[in-house]
Amino acid sequence: MFRKTVFFLFFSMLGTPALAQAEFKVTNSELDDRKAVFGTVQSVDIVAARARIGGTTRGLVIDEGSAVTAGQVIATIEDPKLGLQLASLDARLRALDAQRKLAVTELDRMQKLRTSGTVSQARLDEAQTNLNVVTGNRAAIAAERAVLEQQMSEGAVLAPAAGRVLHVHVTEGVVVMPGEPVATIAAERYVLRIELPERHSRFIREGDEVLIGERGQAPGDIDTHRKGTITQVYPEMSQGRVVADVEADGLGDYFVGERARVHVATGKRTAILVPASYLGQRYGVTFVIVKNEGEVMIQPGQRLGDNIEVLSGLKPGDILLQP
C-alpha cells in the first residue's frame, strides 16, 4: 500500500508542469482598413530629345527600352549645306588675311614716307583706315564662322535626362526639321500612380504609408509586401477618383505602365488578432483551444507579423490555450 502511494505521488509530480499552459486573452485591436487598388508605374518626368537643326538623321544608337545617360549622343543630324557654308567662310577668311597683310605693308610704307615728308598725312590716314576695315571684316567673318560651328555641333541630339527610351520617332536616314522629336525618354525617377474612389479621398494624405504587392498582381501575404509612401495627392479629381503618386524602392525594374497591387489605408476598423502559435490545423480546418470550452473552429484572415487576424469563431474575453 505504501509503495503504490509513493508511485502515485511520483507520477503526479511529473505531470504537474505539463498542465500549466500559457494563456492568451482575446481583445479587440484597431487596424488600418486597407483597400486594395492597382497602381500604374509612371515616370515623374517624360522628356523629348529633339533635333536642334534640320537635316538627315545619322548614327542612331538607341531603340525602345535602351538606357541612356544625361547628355549622351543618341543620334546626329547632318546638313550638307553647313559644310559648304563653312568652306565658303574659310575661303573668305584666307582672302581677308591676304588683304590684311597687304594693308599692313602699305601702312608701314606710308609711315616711312610720311617721316621723310614725301606723302601727306591724308595718305597715311587712308592706309590706317584700310587696315582697320580689313581687320573688322575679318573679325566679323570669324564670328560668323563660330556661329556656324556652333550650329554644326548642335547636330548632335543629346539625351536631356538619364532614363529609359520609351519611343523612337525616327529611323536612320530620315529628314527631320528643327524642334522635331527624335525620341521620348522616361526619366529615372518612377512612381506608382493610384486612383481612389471619391468617398475615400478624405482619408488619403501625403506621407501616408502604403503596402505594395509583388509583381504579377498576385494578392499574396500582406506581411511580405513592400512599403511605399504617398508623395503627392493631386488636387483635381478625374472621373470621380482622386489621383496620388506613391514612391518606393525598386520601381526602376518595372515596365513603364506595369500595374501593381497597392494597399491604401482608408480608415480604421476593429479586428481580433491572435498569435499564430495559438492556432492549430487538422484536416484543413483551423481551430483554437478556448479555456473551459475546448476546441473551437475559427476562420483565419490575413497574417500581420506574428499574429493572425481571426474573422469569426472568437469574441473578446475568450481565454486561449496553446494547442
* All three cell numbers of 142: 570669324
Give the position of cell 500612380. 193
pLDDT of residue 232 exceeding 50, the answer is yes
Tens digit of pLDDT for each residue in 5-19? Answer: 433 443 344 444 444
Q: What is the model's pLDDT at position 102?
A: 92
pLDDT of residue 72 exceeding 60, the answer is yes
- Cα–Cα distance, 290 to 293 (Å, whole number): 5
Residue 34 phi, psi dihedral angles, 5° rounding: -95, 135
Q: Which of 184, 128, 155 is nearest to 52 (CA)?
A: 155
DSSP H helices in 41-187: 80-116, 121-153
Q: Which of 58, 45, 48 is nearest to 159 (CA)?
A: 48
Positive or negative: CA dihedral 155, 160, 164, 165: negative
Give the position of cell 470621380. 240
Which one of 154-168, 242-256, 264-278 scores highest in mean pLDDT?
A: 154-168
Contact between 247 and 194 under an 8 Å Cβ cutoff? The reply is: no
Interacting residues of 131 by C-beta distance below 8 A, sequence separation 6+: 100, 103, 104, 106, 107
Q: What is the model's pLDDT at position 18?
A: 42
Give the position of cell 544608337. 61
Q: What is the model's pLDDT at position 177?
A: 93
Domains defined for the chain, CATH in brackets: 21-30+271-321 (2.40.420.20), 46-78+155-187 (2.40.50.100), 80-153 (1.10.287)
Q: Which of 171, 309, 193 is nearest to 251 (CA)?
A: 193
Distance of CA 133 to the CA centre of its chain: 58
CA angle 34, 37, 40 (to 5 degrees): 140
- Give the residue, 284 or 225, on which the prediction is more confident: 284
Amino acid at the residue 138: R
The mean-pLDDT minimum among 61-65, 82-86, 185-189 falls in 185-189
- Cα–Cα distance, 82 to 103 (Å, whole number): 31
The secondary structure of residue 68, as a DSSP letter, is: E
- Cα–Cα distance, 125 to 25 (Å, whole number): 112
SS3 call for 154: coil
Tens digit of pLDDT for each residue in 21-44? Answer: 688 888 888 887 788 888 888 888
Q: Which of 49, 44, 47 is nearest to 62 (CA)?
A: 49
- Cα–Cα distance, 195 to 211 (Å, whole number): 15
* All three cell numbers of 111: 609711315
> Any idea how long the chain is?
323
**What is the rounded average pLDDT for all residues in the chain?**
84
Mean of the pLDDT values across residues 150-178?
91
Q: What is the model's pLDDT at position 48?
A: 92
Q: What is the model's pLDDT at position 91?
A: 94
Distance of CA 27 to the CA centre of its chain: 43
